[in-house]
Structure 1
Amino acid sequence: MTLKIVSLLFVLLFISGCNQDQSTELTRQMSNTNEMADQVLDVEEDAVDMEVEETDQTESNVETSERMVVQNGHLEVVVEEFDDMMYEIENKVMDLDGYVVETSVQGSEEGERSGSLLVRIPEDDFQSFLDEVVSVSVELVHRSTYGNDVTEEYIDLESRLRSQEVVEERLLTFLEAAENTEDLLTISEDLANVQQEIETIEGRMNYLENQVDFATVNLYIYEQSSTALQDQSSLNTWQNATNLFTGTINALLSVVSFIVVTVVGLSPVLVPVSIGIIVSFWLYRRKKK
Protein backbone atom coordinates (compact mmCIF):
# COMPACT_ATOMS: atom_id res chain seq x y z
CA MET A 1 0.00 0.00 0.00
CA THR A 2 2.77 2.33 0.93
CA LEU A 3 4.51 1.59 -2.42
CA LYS A 4 1.41 2.55 -4.39
CA ILE A 5 1.12 5.86 -2.55
CA VAL A 6 4.77 6.68 -3.24
CA SER A 7 4.39 5.79 -6.95
CA LEU A 8 1.30 8.00 -7.21
CA LEU A 9 3.11 10.92 -5.63
CA PHE A 10 6.05 10.46 -8.00
CA VAL A 11 3.73 10.49 -11.05
CA LEU A 12 1.98 13.63 -9.79
CA LEU A 13 5.30 15.40 -9.28
CA PHE A 14 6.47 14.42 -12.79
CA ILE A 15 3.26 15.70 -14.42
CA SER A 16 3.51 18.93 -12.44
CA GLY A 17 7.10 19.46 -13.62
CA CYS A 18 6.16 18.93 -17.28
CA ASN A 19 3.27 21.36 -17.02
CA GLN A 20 5.57 23.93 -15.47
CA ASP A 21 8.09 23.51 -18.32
CA GLN A 22 5.34 23.87 -20.95
CA SER A 23 3.99 26.93 -19.20
CA THR A 24 7.45 28.46 -19.10
CA GLU A 25 7.96 27.82 -22.82
CA LEU A 26 4.53 29.24 -23.69
CA THR A 27 5.24 32.31 -21.60
CA ARG A 28 8.55 32.81 -23.40
CA GLN A 29 6.90 32.51 -26.82
CA MET A 30 4.18 34.97 -25.86
CA SER A 31 6.83 37.34 -24.57
CA ASN A 32 8.74 37.11 -27.87
CA THR A 33 5.57 37.67 -29.86
CA ASN A 34 4.61 40.71 -27.78
CA GLU A 35 8.11 42.09 -28.12
CA MET A 36 8.01 41.64 -31.92
CA ALA A 37 4.60 43.31 -32.06
CA ASP A 38 5.91 46.22 -29.99
CA GLN A 39 8.85 46.60 -32.40
CA VAL A 40 6.53 46.63 -35.44
CA LEU A 41 4.34 49.20 -33.70
CA ASP A 42 7.40 51.32 -32.93
CA VAL A 43 8.41 51.20 -36.62
CA GLU A 44 4.97 52.36 -37.70
CA GLU A 45 5.00 55.17 -35.12
CA ASP A 46 8.47 56.24 -36.28
CA ALA A 47 7.21 56.31 -39.86
CA VAL A 48 4.28 58.52 -38.85
CA ASP A 49 6.62 60.88 -37.00
CA MET A 50 8.91 61.01 -40.03
CA GLU A 51 5.97 61.87 -42.32
CA VAL A 52 4.91 64.66 -39.96
CA GLU A 53 8.42 66.12 -39.87
CA GLU A 54 8.82 65.94 -43.64
CA THR A 55 5.35 67.42 -44.15
CA ASP A 56 6.40 70.42 -42.08
CA GLN A 57 9.28 70.93 -44.52
CA THR A 58 7.09 70.63 -47.62
CA GLU A 59 6.17 74.33 -47.84
CA SER A 60 9.78 75.46 -47.71
CA ASN A 61 10.78 72.80 -50.25
CA VAL A 62 8.03 73.97 -52.61
CA GLU A 63 9.48 77.48 -52.63
CA THR A 64 12.95 76.25 -53.62
CA SER A 65 11.90 73.50 -56.05
CA GLU A 66 11.24 73.85 -59.74
CA ARG A 67 7.53 74.31 -60.33
CA MET A 68 5.64 71.36 -61.78
CA VAL A 69 2.72 72.65 -63.85
CA VAL A 70 0.32 70.52 -65.89
CA GLN A 71 -0.46 72.47 -69.10
CA ASN A 72 -3.81 72.18 -70.90
CA GLY A 73 -5.06 73.85 -74.07
CA HIS A 74 -8.35 74.26 -75.94
CA LEU A 75 -8.38 75.29 -79.61
CA GLU A 76 -11.20 75.69 -82.16
CA VAL A 77 -10.42 76.63 -85.79
CA VAL A 78 -12.06 76.77 -89.21
CA VAL A 79 -10.16 75.27 -92.17
CA GLU A 80 -10.62 75.05 -95.92
CA GLU A 81 -9.57 71.40 -96.44
CA PHE A 82 -10.63 69.19 -93.55
CA ASP A 83 -8.71 66.04 -94.56
CA ASP A 84 -5.50 67.96 -95.23
CA MET A 85 -5.70 69.68 -91.86
CA MET A 86 -6.29 66.45 -89.95
CA TYR A 87 -3.37 64.80 -91.73
CA GLU A 88 -1.09 67.77 -91.14
CA ILE A 89 -1.89 67.94 -87.42
CA GLU A 90 -1.31 64.22 -86.87
CA ASN A 91 2.05 64.41 -88.67
CA LYS A 92 3.05 67.47 -86.65
CA VAL A 93 2.22 65.69 -83.39
CA MET A 94 4.39 62.71 -84.35
CA ASP A 95 7.25 65.00 -85.43
CA LEU A 96 7.22 66.54 -81.95
CA ASP A 97 7.36 63.06 -80.33
CA GLY A 98 3.82 63.49 -79.05
CA TYR A 99 0.87 61.18 -79.56
CA VAL A 100 -2.81 61.27 -80.47
CA VAL A 101 -5.08 59.99 -77.71
CA GLU A 102 -8.45 60.24 -79.43
CA THR A 103 -10.01 61.41 -82.72
CA SER A 104 -13.57 61.77 -83.97
CA VAL A 105 -15.16 63.03 -87.21
CA GLN A 106 -18.75 64.17 -87.83
CA GLY A 107 -20.57 65.13 -91.03
CA SER A 108 -23.44 67.53 -91.74
CA GLU A 109 -26.36 67.66 -94.20
CA GLU A 110 -24.58 70.40 -96.18
CA GLY A 111 -21.54 68.19 -96.65
CA GLU A 112 -19.15 70.04 -94.37
CA ARG A 113 -17.34 68.01 -91.72
CA SER A 114 -16.03 68.69 -88.26
CA GLY A 115 -13.74 66.74 -86.01
CA SER A 116 -11.95 66.72 -82.69
CA LEU A 117 -8.55 65.49 -81.58
CA LEU A 118 -7.15 64.93 -78.10
CA VAL A 119 -3.36 65.09 -78.37
CA ARG A 120 -0.39 65.09 -75.97
CA ILE A 121 2.47 67.44 -76.84
CA PRO A 122 5.86 67.83 -75.12
CA GLU A 123 5.55 70.76 -72.73
CA ASP A 124 8.37 72.70 -74.41
CA ASP A 125 6.48 72.69 -77.75
CA PHE A 126 3.05 73.46 -76.29
CA GLN A 127 2.63 77.13 -77.28
CA SER A 128 4.45 76.83 -80.62
CA PHE A 129 2.16 73.95 -81.61
CA LEU A 130 -0.95 76.04 -80.92
CA ASP A 131 0.51 78.97 -82.88
CA GLU A 132 1.25 76.77 -85.89
CA VAL A 133 -2.26 75.29 -85.98
CA VAL A 134 -3.77 78.77 -85.87
CA SER A 135 -1.45 80.03 -88.62
CA VAL A 136 -2.63 77.40 -91.14
CA SER A 137 -6.32 77.90 -90.34
CA VAL A 138 -8.85 80.17 -92.03
CA GLU A 139 -10.38 81.45 -88.80
CA LEU A 140 -9.68 81.15 -85.08
CA VAL A 141 -12.92 80.47 -83.20
CA HIS A 142 -11.57 79.98 -79.68
CA ARG A 143 -8.24 79.55 -77.92
CA SER A 144 -7.52 79.10 -74.23
CA THR A 145 -4.78 77.64 -72.04
CA TYR A 146 -4.59 76.90 -68.34
CA GLY A 147 -2.20 75.18 -65.95
CA ASN A 148 -2.47 73.12 -62.77
CA ASP A 149 0.42 73.42 -60.29
CA VAL A 150 1.13 69.98 -58.74
CA THR A 151 4.47 70.87 -57.12
CA GLU A 152 3.26 70.60 -53.53
CA GLU A 153 1.49 67.28 -54.13
CA TYR A 154 4.59 65.78 -55.77
CA ILE A 155 6.90 66.83 -52.93
CA ASP A 156 4.45 65.42 -50.39
CA LEU A 157 4.46 62.11 -52.30
CA GLU A 158 8.27 62.06 -52.21
CA SER A 159 8.20 62.47 -48.42
CA ARG A 160 5.65 59.70 -47.98
CA LEU A 161 7.65 57.41 -50.26
CA ARG A 162 10.83 57.87 -48.23
CA SER A 163 8.97 57.12 -44.99
CA GLN A 164 7.39 53.96 -46.35
CA GLU A 165 10.74 52.75 -47.71
CA VAL A 166 12.23 53.10 -44.21
CA VAL A 167 9.37 51.04 -42.78
CA GLU A 168 9.82 48.42 -45.48
CA GLU A 169 13.53 48.08 -44.72
CA ARG A 170 12.93 47.60 -40.99
CA LEU A 171 10.14 45.09 -41.54
CA LEU A 172 12.42 43.05 -43.79
CA THR A 173 14.97 43.00 -40.98
CA PHE A 174 12.35 41.83 -38.47
CA LEU A 175 11.14 39.20 -40.94
CA GLU A 176 14.60 37.65 -41.08
CA ALA A 177 14.80 37.61 -37.27
CA ALA A 178 11.32 36.13 -36.69
CA GLU A 179 11.40 32.84 -34.73
CA ASN A 180 7.84 31.53 -34.99
CA THR A 181 5.00 31.28 -37.45
CA GLU A 182 2.83 33.88 -35.75
CA ASP A 183 5.55 36.52 -36.01
CA LEU A 184 6.15 35.63 -39.65
CA LEU A 185 2.46 36.04 -40.49
CA THR A 186 2.15 39.36 -38.63
CA ILE A 187 5.26 40.90 -40.17
CA SER A 188 4.44 39.56 -43.66
CA GLU A 189 0.99 41.16 -43.51
CA ASP A 190 2.42 44.52 -42.44
CA LEU A 191 5.12 44.28 -45.10
CA ALA A 192 2.55 43.58 -47.83
CA ASN A 193 0.53 46.64 -46.80
CA VAL A 194 3.62 48.86 -46.84
CA GLN A 195 4.74 47.58 -50.25
CA GLN A 196 1.26 48.17 -51.65
CA GLU A 197 1.36 51.74 -50.34
CA ILE A 198 4.77 52.23 -51.98
CA GLU A 199 3.42 51.02 -55.33
CA THR A 200 0.45 53.38 -55.05
CA ILE A 201 2.67 56.37 -54.29
CA GLU A 202 5.09 55.55 -57.12
CA GLY A 203 2.18 55.16 -59.55
CA ARG A 204 0.82 58.59 -58.66
CA MET A 205 4.27 60.17 -58.98
CA ASN A 206 4.78 58.61 -62.43
CA TYR A 207 1.37 59.90 -63.49
CA LEU A 208 2.15 63.46 -62.38
CA GLU A 209 5.53 63.37 -64.13
CA ASN A 210 3.86 62.31 -67.38
CA GLN A 211 1.20 65.02 -67.06
CA VAL A 212 3.89 67.67 -66.57
CA ASP A 213 6.14 66.43 -69.40
CA PHE A 214 3.29 66.29 -71.94
CA ALA A 215 0.67 69.03 -72.31
CA THR A 216 -2.88 68.03 -73.21
CA VAL A 217 -4.57 69.82 -76.14
CA ASN A 218 -8.22 69.53 -77.17
CA LEU A 219 -8.56 70.47 -80.86
CA TYR A 220 -11.87 71.14 -82.62
CA ILE A 221 -11.72 71.57 -86.41
CA TYR A 222 -14.59 72.87 -88.56
CA GLU A 223 -14.61 72.74 -92.37
CA GLN A 224 -15.46 76.06 -94.07
CA SER A 225 -18.81 76.04 -95.86
CA SER A 226 -18.56 76.58 -99.62
CA THR A 227 -22.21 77.73 -99.99
CA ALA A 228 -22.66 79.87 -96.94
CA LEU A 229 -23.04 83.64 -97.46
CA GLN A 230 -20.41 85.83 -95.96
CA ASP A 231 -21.61 87.91 -93.05
CA GLN A 232 -21.63 91.71 -93.29
CA SER A 233 -18.75 92.08 -90.85
CA SER A 234 -16.44 90.01 -93.07
CA LEU A 235 -17.52 91.86 -96.27
CA ASN A 236 -16.72 95.35 -94.88
CA THR A 237 -18.79 96.95 -97.68
CA TRP A 238 -18.92 100.49 -96.32
CA GLN A 239 -15.27 100.49 -95.32
CA ASN A 240 -14.16 99.26 -98.75
CA ALA A 241 -16.34 101.86 -100.53
CA THR A 242 -14.96 104.64 -98.34
CA ASN A 243 -11.41 103.53 -99.00
CA LEU A 244 -12.00 103.45 -102.78
CA PHE A 245 -13.58 106.94 -102.82
CA THR A 246 -10.75 108.38 -100.74
CA GLY A 247 -8.18 106.73 -102.99
CA THR A 248 -9.79 108.17 -106.14
CA ILE A 249 -9.88 111.72 -104.72
CA ASN A 250 -6.26 111.42 -103.65
CA ALA A 251 -5.26 110.28 -107.14
CA LEU A 252 -7.03 113.25 -108.80
CA LEU A 253 -5.45 115.67 -106.37
CA SER A 254 -2.07 114.15 -107.11
CA VAL A 255 -2.54 114.69 -110.89
CA VAL A 256 -3.72 118.30 -110.45
CA SER A 257 -0.86 118.97 -108.06
CA PHE A 258 1.61 117.54 -110.56
CA ILE A 259 0.23 119.74 -113.38
CA VAL A 260 0.35 122.90 -111.26
CA VAL A 261 3.86 122.16 -110.04
CA THR A 262 5.03 121.46 -113.62
CA VAL A 263 3.49 124.63 -115.07
CA VAL A 264 4.77 126.88 -112.32
CA GLY A 265 8.17 125.30 -112.34
CA LEU A 266 8.61 125.59 -116.15
CA SER A 267 6.95 129.04 -116.45
CA PRO A 268 10.26 130.86 -117.16
CA VAL A 269 10.52 128.78 -120.31
CA LEU A 270 6.90 128.12 -121.15
CA VAL A 271 5.77 131.77 -121.03
CA PRO A 272 8.23 133.12 -123.65
CA VAL A 273 7.74 130.12 -125.87
CA SER A 274 3.98 130.39 -125.61
CA ILE A 275 4.12 134.12 -126.47
CA GLY A 276 6.36 133.42 -129.45
CA ILE A 277 4.05 130.71 -130.75
CA ILE A 278 0.99 132.95 -130.38
CA VAL A 279 2.70 135.90 -132.15
CA SER A 280 3.96 133.68 -134.97
CA PHE A 281 0.52 132.17 -135.46
CA TRP A 282 -1.08 135.66 -135.54
CA LEU A 283 1.41 136.96 -138.09
CA TYR A 284 0.90 133.90 -140.25
CA ARG A 285 -2.86 134.33 -140.25
CA ARG A 286 -2.55 138.03 -141.05
CA LYS A 287 -0.11 137.53 -143.90
CA LYS A 288 -2.32 134.85 -145.39
CA LYS A 289 -5.25 137.20 -145.52
Structure 2
Amino acid sequence: MRILRFKSLVVLLGLSLIVLVTASCQVPSTGLKDSLGKESIKTAVKEPANLKGKSKGKSRKKLSADQKVSSEMKDRKIIKKANLSLERKDLKGINKEVKELAKEYEGYIVNSHQWQSKDQQKHFRYTLRIPQQNFEAAMTKLKDLGKLKDEQLNGRDITREYINLEARLKNFKAQEERYLELLNQAKDVEDMLKIEKELNRVRGKIEQFQGRLKYYDNRVDLATINVNISQPPPVIKNNWQIINSFKEAIRGFVKSINLIIILIGTLLPWLFFVALIGMLGYIIFKAKRK
Protein backbone atom coordinates (compact mmCIF):
# COMPACT_ATOMS: atom_id res chain seq x y z
CA MET A 1 0.00 0.00 0.00
CA ARG A 2 2.81 2.34 0.85
CA ILE A 3 4.49 1.58 -2.49
CA LEU A 4 1.29 2.36 -4.39
CA ARG A 5 0.83 5.61 -2.55
CA PHE A 6 4.42 6.58 -3.26
CA LYS A 7 4.04 5.76 -6.93
CA SER A 8 0.82 7.77 -7.20
CA LEU A 9 2.47 10.72 -5.44
CA VAL A 10 5.43 10.58 -7.86
CA VAL A 11 3.06 10.46 -10.80
CA LEU A 12 1.12 13.46 -9.48
CA LEU A 13 4.30 15.42 -8.91
CA GLY A 14 5.53 14.57 -12.39
CA LEU A 15 2.26 15.61 -13.98
CA SER A 16 2.23 18.88 -12.03
CA LEU A 17 5.81 19.63 -13.13
CA ILE A 18 4.94 18.91 -16.74
CA VAL A 19 1.90 21.24 -16.53
CA LEU A 20 3.97 24.01 -14.93
CA VAL A 21 6.74 23.72 -17.51
CA THR A 22 4.36 23.78 -20.45
CA ALA A 23 2.42 26.66 -18.96
CA SER A 24 5.56 28.71 -18.36
CA CYS A 25 6.74 28.08 -21.91
CA GLN A 26 3.43 28.84 -23.63
CA VAL A 27 2.37 32.00 -21.80
CA PRO A 28 5.33 34.23 -22.77
CA SER A 29 5.35 32.95 -26.32
CA THR A 30 1.67 33.69 -26.82
CA GLY A 31 1.99 37.10 -25.20
CA LEU A 32 4.96 37.96 -27.37
CA LYS A 33 3.17 36.63 -30.39
CA ASP A 34 0.08 38.65 -29.62
CA SER A 35 2.02 41.83 -28.93
CA LEU A 36 4.17 41.50 -32.03
CA GLY A 37 1.17 40.56 -34.13
CA LYS A 38 -0.86 43.53 -33.03
CA GLU A 39 2.00 45.99 -33.38
CA SER A 40 2.98 44.68 -36.79
CA ILE A 41 -0.64 44.83 -37.95
CA LYS A 42 -1.02 48.31 -36.63
CA THR A 43 2.18 49.50 -38.29
CA ALA A 44 1.27 47.69 -41.46
CA VAL A 45 -2.08 49.36 -41.51
CA LYS A 46 -0.96 52.77 -40.31
CA GLU A 47 2.08 53.29 -42.45
CA PRO A 48 0.38 52.86 -45.83
CA ALA A 49 -2.55 54.91 -44.59
CA ASN A 50 -0.25 57.72 -43.49
CA LEU A 51 1.70 57.58 -46.69
CA LYS A 52 -1.50 57.52 -48.67
CA GLY A 53 -2.88 60.46 -46.69
CA LYS A 54 0.31 62.47 -47.14
CA SER A 55 0.42 61.79 -50.85
CA LYS A 56 -3.23 62.70 -51.17
CA GLY A 57 -2.71 65.87 -49.13
CA LYS A 58 0.23 66.91 -51.28
CA SER A 59 -1.63 66.21 -54.48
CA ARG A 60 -4.69 68.07 -53.23
CA LYS A 61 -2.58 71.05 -52.20
CA LYS A 62 -0.86 71.04 -55.55
CA LEU A 63 -4.14 70.80 -57.40
CA SER A 64 -5.73 73.57 -55.32
CA ALA A 65 -2.69 75.82 -55.85
CA ASP A 66 -2.75 75.17 -59.61
CA GLN A 67 -6.47 75.80 -59.75
CA LYS A 68 -6.05 79.01 -57.79
CA VAL A 69 -3.31 80.27 -60.10
CA SER A 70 -5.29 79.35 -63.20
CA SER A 71 -8.42 81.02 -61.85
CA GLU A 72 -6.46 84.17 -61.01
CA MET A 73 -4.94 84.19 -64.49
CA LYS A 74 -8.36 83.73 -66.02
CA ASP A 75 -10.11 86.35 -63.88
CA ARG A 76 -7.31 88.92 -63.94
CA LYS A 77 -8.61 92.50 -64.12
CA ILE A 78 -6.52 94.71 -66.42
CA ILE A 79 -7.37 98.24 -67.57
CA LYS A 80 -6.00 98.77 -71.08
CA LYS A 81 -5.21 102.13 -72.62
CA ALA A 82 -3.52 103.09 -75.90
CA ASN A 83 -2.34 106.31 -77.58
CA LEU A 84 -1.90 106.50 -81.36
CA SER A 85 -0.46 109.33 -83.47
CA LEU A 86 -1.08 109.06 -87.20
CA GLU A 87 -0.19 111.23 -90.16
CA ARG A 88 -2.39 111.50 -93.25
CA LYS A 89 -2.40 113.97 -96.09
CA ASP A 90 -6.08 113.86 -97.05
CA LEU A 91 -8.36 114.07 -94.01
CA LYS A 92 -11.56 114.31 -95.96
CA GLY A 93 -14.13 111.84 -94.60
CA ILE A 94 -11.99 110.88 -91.62
CA ASN A 95 -14.88 111.41 -89.18
CA LYS A 96 -17.02 108.89 -91.03
CA GLU A 97 -14.22 106.33 -91.17
CA VAL A 98 -13.53 106.52 -87.43
CA LYS A 99 -17.23 106.26 -86.56
CA GLU A 100 -17.68 103.22 -88.79
CA LEU A 101 -14.58 101.59 -87.30
CA ALA A 102 -15.83 102.09 -83.74
CA LYS A 103 -19.21 100.66 -84.68
CA GLU A 104 -17.60 97.68 -86.44
CA TYR A 105 -15.79 96.65 -83.25
CA GLU A 106 -18.82 97.24 -80.99
CA GLY A 107 -17.40 100.42 -79.50
CA TYR A 108 -18.21 104.12 -79.55
CA ILE A 109 -16.57 107.57 -79.65
CA VAL A 110 -16.42 109.31 -76.28
CA ASN A 111 -15.25 112.68 -77.57
CA SER A 112 -13.67 114.26 -80.63
CA HIS A 113 -11.79 117.49 -81.33
CA GLN A 114 -10.87 119.19 -84.59
CA TRP A 115 -8.63 122.24 -85.07
CA GLN A 116 -6.26 123.94 -87.50
CA SER A 117 -2.78 125.21 -86.64
CA LYS A 118 -1.11 128.43 -87.80
CA ASP A 119 0.61 126.70 -90.70
CA GLN A 120 -2.79 125.52 -92.00
CA GLN A 121 -2.36 121.96 -90.69
CA LYS A 122 -5.58 120.12 -89.82
CA HIS A 123 -5.70 117.97 -86.69
CA PHE A 124 -8.29 115.46 -85.47
CA ARG A 125 -8.38 113.86 -82.04
CA TYR A 126 -10.68 111.00 -81.00
CA THR A 127 -11.21 109.01 -77.81
CA LEU A 128 -12.68 105.54 -78.43
CA ARG A 129 -14.03 102.93 -76.02
CA ILE A 130 -13.65 99.44 -77.48
CA PRO A 131 -14.51 96.06 -75.85
CA GLN A 132 -11.34 94.43 -74.58
CA GLN A 133 -11.80 91.32 -76.73
CA ASN A 134 -11.73 93.58 -79.85
CA PHE A 135 -8.86 95.78 -78.67
CA GLU A 136 -6.07 94.26 -80.76
CA ALA A 137 -8.15 94.08 -83.94
CA ALA A 138 -9.32 97.68 -83.55
CA MET A 139 -5.73 98.87 -83.00
CA THR A 140 -4.62 97.13 -86.22
CA LYS A 141 -7.47 98.71 -88.19
CA LEU A 142 -6.80 102.18 -86.77
CA LYS A 143 -3.15 102.01 -87.88
CA ASP A 144 -4.38 101.56 -91.44
CA LEU A 145 -5.96 105.04 -91.37
CA GLY A 146 -2.58 106.75 -91.80
CA LYS A 147 1.15 106.62 -91.29
CA LEU A 148 2.05 105.59 -87.74
CA LYS A 149 4.14 108.24 -85.97
CA ASP A 150 3.82 107.11 -82.34
CA GLU A 151 2.20 104.29 -80.36
CA GLN A 152 1.88 103.81 -76.61
CA LEU A 153 0.25 100.88 -74.81
CA ASN A 154 -0.50 100.92 -71.08
CA GLY A 155 -2.01 98.24 -68.85
CA ARG A 156 -2.95 98.54 -65.20
CA ASP A 157 -3.55 95.35 -63.20
CA ILE A 158 -6.25 95.95 -60.55
CA THR A 159 -6.90 92.30 -59.68
CA ARG A 160 -5.77 92.54 -56.06
CA GLU A 161 -7.65 95.79 -55.45
CA TYR A 162 -10.77 94.33 -57.07
CA ILE A 163 -10.63 91.19 -54.88
CA ASN A 164 -10.17 93.35 -51.75
CA LEU A 165 -13.19 95.43 -52.68
CA GLU A 166 -15.29 92.30 -53.21
CA ALA A 167 -14.22 90.93 -49.81
CA ARG A 168 -15.04 94.20 -48.03
CA LEU A 169 -18.39 94.38 -49.82
CA LYS A 170 -19.18 90.83 -48.67
CA ASN A 171 -18.33 91.73 -45.06
CA PHE A 172 -20.53 94.82 -45.10
CA LYS A 173 -23.42 92.83 -46.58
CA ALA A 174 -23.06 90.34 -43.74
CA GLN A 175 -23.15 93.25 -41.27
CA GLU A 176 -26.27 94.57 -42.98
CA GLU A 177 -28.04 91.21 -42.52
CA ARG A 178 -27.01 91.10 -38.86
CA TYR A 179 -28.29 94.63 -38.21
CA LEU A 180 -31.57 93.76 -39.91
CA GLU A 181 -31.95 90.78 -37.56
CA LEU A 182 -31.21 92.99 -34.55
CA LEU A 183 -33.67 95.59 -35.81
CA ASN A 184 -36.43 92.99 -36.00
CA GLN A 185 -35.64 91.83 -32.46
CA ALA A 186 -35.35 95.33 -30.96
CA LYS A 187 -38.25 96.54 -28.82
CA ASP A 188 -36.83 99.76 -27.40
CA VAL A 189 -37.10 102.91 -29.55
CA GLU A 190 -33.62 104.07 -28.54
CA ASP A 191 -32.10 100.76 -29.58
CA MET A 192 -33.96 100.85 -32.87
CA LEU A 193 -32.60 104.33 -33.63
CA LYS A 194 -29.05 103.26 -32.88
CA ILE A 195 -29.38 100.16 -35.07
CA GLU A 196 -30.89 102.18 -37.92
CA LYS A 197 -28.01 104.65 -37.70
CA GLU A 198 -25.46 101.85 -38.00
CA LEU A 199 -27.52 100.23 -40.75
CA ASN A 200 -27.48 103.46 -42.79
CA ARG A 201 -23.72 103.71 -42.34
CA VAL A 202 -23.22 100.13 -43.52
CA ARG A 203 -25.53 100.63 -46.51
CA GLY A 204 -23.59 103.76 -47.47
CA LYS A 205 -20.39 101.71 -47.53
CA ILE A 206 -22.10 99.01 -49.60
CA GLU A 207 -23.21 101.56 -52.20
CA GLN A 208 -19.71 103.04 -52.25
CA PHE A 209 -18.03 99.68 -52.89
CA GLN A 210 -20.65 98.64 -55.45
CA GLY A 211 -20.10 101.88 -57.36
CA ARG A 212 -16.35 101.38 -57.31
CA LEU A 213 -16.69 97.82 -58.60
CA LYS A 214 -19.02 98.95 -61.40
CA TYR A 215 -16.50 101.63 -62.38
CA TYR A 216 -13.69 99.05 -62.51
CA ASP A 217 -15.88 96.65 -64.52
CA ASN A 218 -16.52 99.37 -67.07
CA ARG A 219 -12.84 100.30 -67.33
CA VAL A 220 -11.82 96.65 -67.68
CA ASP A 221 -14.52 95.63 -70.15
CA LEU A 222 -13.95 98.64 -72.43
CA ALA A 223 -10.41 99.66 -73.39
CA THR A 224 -9.62 103.34 -74.07
CA ILE A 225 -7.89 104.38 -77.32
CA ASN A 226 -6.78 107.97 -77.95
CA VAL A 227 -6.13 108.69 -81.65
CA ASN A 228 -4.47 111.81 -83.05
CA ILE A 229 -4.59 112.20 -86.84
CA SER A 230 -2.76 115.15 -88.41
CA GLN A 231 -1.74 116.38 -91.82
CA PRO A 232 2.01 116.34 -92.55
CA PRO A 233 3.72 119.73 -92.04
CA PRO A 234 4.37 121.74 -95.24
CA VAL A 235 7.86 121.36 -96.70
CA ILE A 236 8.12 125.01 -97.89
CA LYS A 237 6.62 127.86 -95.91
CA ASN A 238 4.29 130.07 -97.92
CA ASN A 239 4.37 133.87 -98.18
CA TRP A 240 1.70 134.17 -95.56
CA GLN A 241 4.35 133.46 -92.97
CA ILE A 242 6.30 136.59 -93.99
CA ILE A 243 3.15 138.71 -93.86
CA ASN A 244 2.30 137.32 -90.45
CA SER A 245 5.83 138.15 -89.27
CA PHE A 246 5.42 141.79 -90.36
CA LYS A 247 2.08 141.92 -88.60
CA GLU A 248 3.62 140.58 -85.42
CA ALA A 249 6.43 143.18 -85.66
CA ILE A 250 3.92 146.04 -86.07
CA ARG A 251 1.88 144.76 -83.14
CA GLY A 252 5.04 144.63 -81.00
CA PHE A 253 5.99 148.20 -82.00
CA VAL A 254 2.53 149.54 -81.19
CA LYS A 255 2.57 147.74 -77.87
CA SER A 256 5.97 149.27 -76.98
CA ILE A 257 4.66 152.80 -77.84
CA ASN A 258 1.67 152.19 -75.60
CA LEU A 259 3.97 151.17 -72.76
CA ILE A 260 6.11 154.28 -73.20
CA ILE A 261 3.02 156.54 -73.15
CA ILE A 262 1.77 154.84 -70.01
CA LEU A 263 5.21 155.26 -68.39
CA ILE A 264 5.38 159.00 -69.27
CA GLY A 265 1.82 159.55 -68.08
CA THR A 266 2.69 157.89 -64.78
CA LEU A 267 5.96 159.82 -64.21
CA LEU A 268 4.83 163.27 -65.50
CA PRO A 269 3.03 164.41 -62.28
CA TRP A 270 6.12 163.50 -60.26
CA LEU A 271 8.34 165.47 -62.69
CA PHE A 272 6.18 168.60 -62.22
CA PHE A 273 6.32 168.13 -58.45
CA VAL A 274 10.11 167.80 -58.45
CA ALA A 275 10.46 170.85 -60.77
CA LEU A 276 8.24 172.94 -58.49
CA ILE A 277 10.28 172.05 -55.41
CA GLY A 278 13.46 172.86 -57.32
CA MET A 279 12.16 176.29 -58.35
CA LEU A 280 11.08 177.12 -54.80
CA GLY A 281 14.47 176.08 -53.48
CA TYR A 282 16.22 178.25 -56.07
CA ILE A 283 14.07 181.31 -55.21
CA ILE A 284 14.72 180.88 -51.48
CA PHE A 285 18.46 180.43 -52.06
CA LYS A 286 18.62 183.58 -54.26
CA ALA A 287 16.66 185.62 -51.69
CA LYS A 288 19.06 184.70 -48.89
CA ARG A 289 22.10 185.78 -50.95
CA LYS A 290 20.62 189.22 -51.39
Rounded to whole Å, the distance in 2 between the matches of 1:85 and 1:196 is 46
**Percentage of matched positions with identical amino acids:** 28
Alignment length, in residue pairs? Answer: 168
1:15 paired residue number = none
Once the 2 structures are TM-superposed, how far is the Cα of residue 126 of structure 1 from its aligned partner? 1.1
Once the 2 structures are TM-superposed, how far is the Cα of residue 100 of structure 1 from its aligned partner? 1.2
Q: Does 2:199 match 1:199?
A: no
1:81 paired residue number = 90
| Preserved contact between residue 61 and residue 155 of structure 1 (Cα < 8 Å) | no
The match for 2:174 among 166, 175, 179 is: 166
Q: Does 2:134 match 1:125?
A: yes
Once the 2 structures are TM-superposed, how far is the Cα of residue 173 of structure 1 from its aligned partner? 0.8
1:107 paired residue number = 116
Letter in 1 for 2:133: D
Q: Deviations over 1:78-130 (max 9, x none)?
A: 11222322320122112222121111111123432102111111111112111
| Preserved contact between residue 120 and residue 214 of structure 1 (Cα < 8 Å) | yes
Letter in 2 for 1:202: Q
Q: Does 2:99 match 1:90?
A: yes
Rounded to whole Å, the distance in 2 between the matches of 1:82 and 1:165 is 54
Q: What TM-score do you get using the length of structure 1 for normalisation?
A: 0.55
Q: Does 2:227 match 1:219?
A: yes
Q: Deviations over 1:185-215 (max 9, x none)?
A: 1000000000010001111111111111100
Letter in 2 for 1:194: V
Q: Deviations over 1:49-84 (max 9, x none)?
A: xxxxxxxxxxx9677422111100010001122232
The match for 1:68 among 58, 77, 82 is: 77
- SS of equivalent residue, structure 1 residue 154: helix
- SS of equivalent residue, structure 2 residue 126: strand
Q: Does 2:150 match 1:134?
A: no
- Closer, same or farther in 2 for the Cα pair 1:194/1:61, shift >3 Å? farther
2:158 paired residue number = 150
Q: CA RMSD in A?
A: 1.8
Q: What TM-score do you get using the length of structure 2 for normalisation?
A: 0.55
Which structure's CA Rg is the greater one? 2
Rounded to whole Å, the distance in 2 between the matches of 1:83 and 1:98 is 22
Q: Deviations over 1:122-158 (max 9, x none)?
A: 1111121111111231x21101111000111111111
Unaligned residue ranges in structure 1 (runs of 5+):
1-59, 230-289
- SS of equivalent residue, structure 2 residue 92: helix
